[in-house]
A and B are shown apart, each in its own frame.
Chain A
Amino acid sequence: MLEARDIHFAYRQQAPVLSGVSLSLAPSQIIGLAGRSGSGKSTLGRIMAGYLQPGRGVVAIDGATTTSGRSSVQYLHQSSIFAVDPRWRIGRIVEEDWQPDEATRKALGVSRAWYDRYPHEISGGELQRVTLLRALSPQTRYLIADEITAMLDPITQAEIWRFLLTRCAVGLGILAISHDAPLLARIAPQRHTLSSGQLR
């Protein structure tokens, strides 16, 4: 179980973004997180993935708050260009964490022809698939998907979510962050809205 308990967060001296947010994500569960731009959805996702430290509150995985070593929580960025080293070729990026099997690679539509290219030489949608493939190592138990299909065409969007739902069925817990309410209604039985720093 991935748990965020009583999370408070503010950027520097500004108004709090999150005020006492608690959220639990179990294996094989998909939770949808909606909210207006700037409501703190990505901030909560980044805190749950260990990218940001909360001002108050804890994030625990199976009750433990340890942050060292390989995390079982992976965060997928809405702007995937920031999530990859611009000096690395795609092949190296994909295999940074694990050697993806052919079935997963093909299911996500990642072409081997991209392996020799740099991130700026493929499209935003293609790069999003690359970062998704990198994140789906067998050690990943929870995925924080922050607007991951916002840049993709509807068909690819559907293919990727179909694939993620199959992974979810075999144990992957997914926090789907989006302001696309119809998409969340289709994929997430449980949905929350973040507003004024609190979950509703």
Chain B
Amino acid sequence: MSQAIDIPAAASRNRWPNNRTLTILSALVGALIIAGVVLASILLGGFGIDADFTTRLAPPSLAHWFGTDQLGHDMMARTIHGLNVSLWVGLVAASISVVIATLLAIFAITCGRWADALVAFLVDAAMGLPHLVLLILISFALGGGTTAVIIAVAVTHWPRLTRILRAETLQLRHADFIIASRRMGKSWAYIGRHHFLPHLWPQLLVGLVLLFPHAILHEAGLTFIGFGLEPSKPAIGVLLSDSMRYLVAGKWWLGLFPGLCLLTLVLCFDAIGNGLRLLADPRQEQV
């Protein structure tokens, strides 16, 4: 006896926008927002830095979209300046972390088993320590300020990327296509440039981009608890820390807008990181 079976229609392979298109679009939007923050900060110049006591603690209005703080500063201008400061601190700290991770991964791969064991131990030890405590200790020991925050964030964010790079390189080193290349007489320099680098640069780039939001959040966190940037700097952490004193008085805009902007910035970097990961891997083209 035959029985009819409902076979669901196959999903079209050419549906638009697909996951890949959406991810790349969100990455582009993220990049535009970040570029907008940098540009706006340059265009604003000193606007929002000077106090204006005639407009103290004004709620959001057409004249001041994000309201004003206890000294009459325009909160939107201060938030933009704060995001810009966070961006630069994040960029420098994340870049230093990537350099440390790359150097350690190269050291582990090229200097024999003892070097590999040493790097593996360092990674495990660094990942075993409480992140925030280490950040506070380093920043405190260095006396606080921008340089201290950058160093603290940079020297605490390399372990994860080092582990990824080391694992990827070890796997590549024993891959059949690398051995095939060696048997074709190619030098390690050639293999490094033509085989290793194309595999590793997406990891490096994505690692750098994904370190950004971490670095920015930690910078804001350190500043918020008083171990970070100088209170005179319009950093997001400073704005959030200041807002705490006025939240109970109903001045919600002092914390809400800088917090939302920080969240948006972090999500933008996350979107860019995911977009880059898709673009860099040809196997993901059909996703």
Which A residues have a C-beta under 8 Å from some C-beta of B?
A: 49-51, 69-71, 73-75, 77, 82-88, 96-97, 118, 120, 137
What 11 new A-B contacts, CB under 8 Å, besides A69-B185, A96-B184?
Answer: A51-B179, A70-B185, A71-B185, A74-B184, A75-B180, A82-B176, A82-B177, A83-B177, A83-B180, A85-B198, A88-B198
> Interface on chain A toward B: helix, strand, loop, or mixed SS?
loop
CB proximity to A under 8 Å, residues B154-202: 175-177, 179-181, 183-186, 195, 198-199
Across chains A and B, which 8 residue pairs bring their CB atoms closest together, nearest first?
A70-B185, A97-B184, A71-B183, A82-B176, A87-B198, A118-B282, A85-B177, A83-B176
In the complex, number of A-B residue pairs with CB atoms less than 8 Å apart: 45
Q: Which of A70, A83, A87 contacts B282 (CB 8 A)?
A: A87
Q: Which of A70, A83, A87 contacts B199 (CB 8 A)?
A: A87
- B15: CB under 8 A from chain A? no
- B: contact size bracket: 10 to 19
Which B residues have a C-beta under 8 Å from some C-beta of A?
A: 175-177, 179-181, 183-186, 195, 198-199, 282-283, 285
Q: Which residue of A lies closest to B181 (CB)?
A: A96
The 6 listed contacts between A and B (C-beta, < 8 Å) are A49-B183, A51-B176, A71-B185, A74-B183, A82-B177, A83-B176
Q: Determine the chain A residues whose CB is within 8 A of the CB of B186 once the complex forms.
A: 96
Docked complex Cα distance between A69 and B199 (Å) = 24
Q: Determine the chain A residues whose CB is within 8 A of the CB of B285 once the complex forms.
A: 118
Q: Do B184 and A84 have beta carbons less than 8 Å apart?
A: no
Q: Determine the chain B residues whose CB is within 8 A of the CB of A50 once the complex forms.
A: 179, 183
Specify which of B177, B185, B283 lies most central, judged by the most chain A CB atoms within 10 Å of its CB: B177
Q: Which of A69, A84, A137 contacts B177 (CB 8 A)?
A: A84
User: Given A85-B195, A86-B283, does the pair A51, B183 have CB atoms closer than 8 Å?
Assistant: yes
Q: Do A86 and B282 have beta carbons less than 8 Å apart?
A: yes
Distance between B284 CB and nearest chain A CB, rounded to angstroms: 10
Q: Which residue of A lies closest to B195 (CB)?
A: A85
Q: Do B179 and A118 have beta carbons less than 8 Å apart?
A: no
Docked complex Cα distance between A71 and B176 (Å) = 15
Docked complex Cα distance between A49 and B186 (Å) = 15
Docked complex Cα distance between A95 and B28 (Å) = 36
Q: Which residue of A lies closest to B186 (CB)?
A: A96
Docked complex Cα distance between A77 and B183 (Å) = 13
Q: Determine the chain A residues whose CB is within 8 A of the CB of B183 once the complex forms.
A: 49-51, 70-71, 73-75
Docked complex Cα distance between A96 and B195 (Å) = 11
Distance between B161 CB and nearest chain A CB, rounded to angstroms: 20
Specify which of B180, B183, B285 lies most central, judged by the most chain A CB atoms within 10 Å of its CB: B180
Q: Determine the chain A residues whose CB is within 8 A of the CB of B176 once the complex forms.
A: 51, 77, 82-83
Docked complex Cα distance between A86 and B282 (Å) = 8
Q: Determine the chain B residues whose CB is within 8 A of the CB of A118 once the complex forms.
A: 282-283, 285
Docked complex Cα distance between A85 and B200 (Å) = 13
Q: Determine the chain B residues whose CB is within 8 A of the CB of A73 once the complex forms.
A: 183
Q: Determine the chain A residues whose CB is within 8 A of the CB of B198 once the complex forms.
A: 85, 87-88
Docked complex Cα distance between A74 and B181 (Å) = 10
Distance between B151 CB and nearest chain A CB, rounded to angstroms: 35
Q: Which residue of A lies closest to B190 (CB)?
A: A96
Q: Which residue of A lies closest to B177 (CB)?
A: A85
Q: Which residue of B lies closest to A77 (CB)?
A: B176
Docked complex Cα distance between A11 and B282 (Å) = 34
Docked complex Cα distance between A69 and B187 (Å) = 8
Distance between B243 CB and nearest chain A CB, rounded to angstroms: 48
Distance between B180 CB and nearest chain A CB, rounded to angstroms: 6
Q: Determine the chain B residues whose CB is within 8 A of the CB of A88 once the complex forms.
A: 198
Distance between B62 CB and nearest chain A CB, rounded to angstroms: 53
Distance between A71 CB and nearest chain B CB, rounded to angstroms: 4
User: Given A51-B179, A82-B177, A83-B177, does the pair A70, B195 have CB atoms closer than 8 Å?
Assistant: no
Q: Do B185 and A82 have beta carbons less than 8 Å apart?
A: no
Docked complex Cα distance between A137 and B186 (Å) = 14
Q: Determine the chain B residues whose CB is within 8 A of the CB of A70 once the complex forms.
A: 183-185
Q: Determine the chain B residues whose CB is within 8 A of the CB of A137 once the complex forms.
A: 184
Distance between A78 CB and nearest chain B CB, rounded to angstroms: 11
Q: Which residue of B lies closest to A93 (CB)?
A: B177
Q: Which residue of A lies closest to B198 (CB)?
A: A87
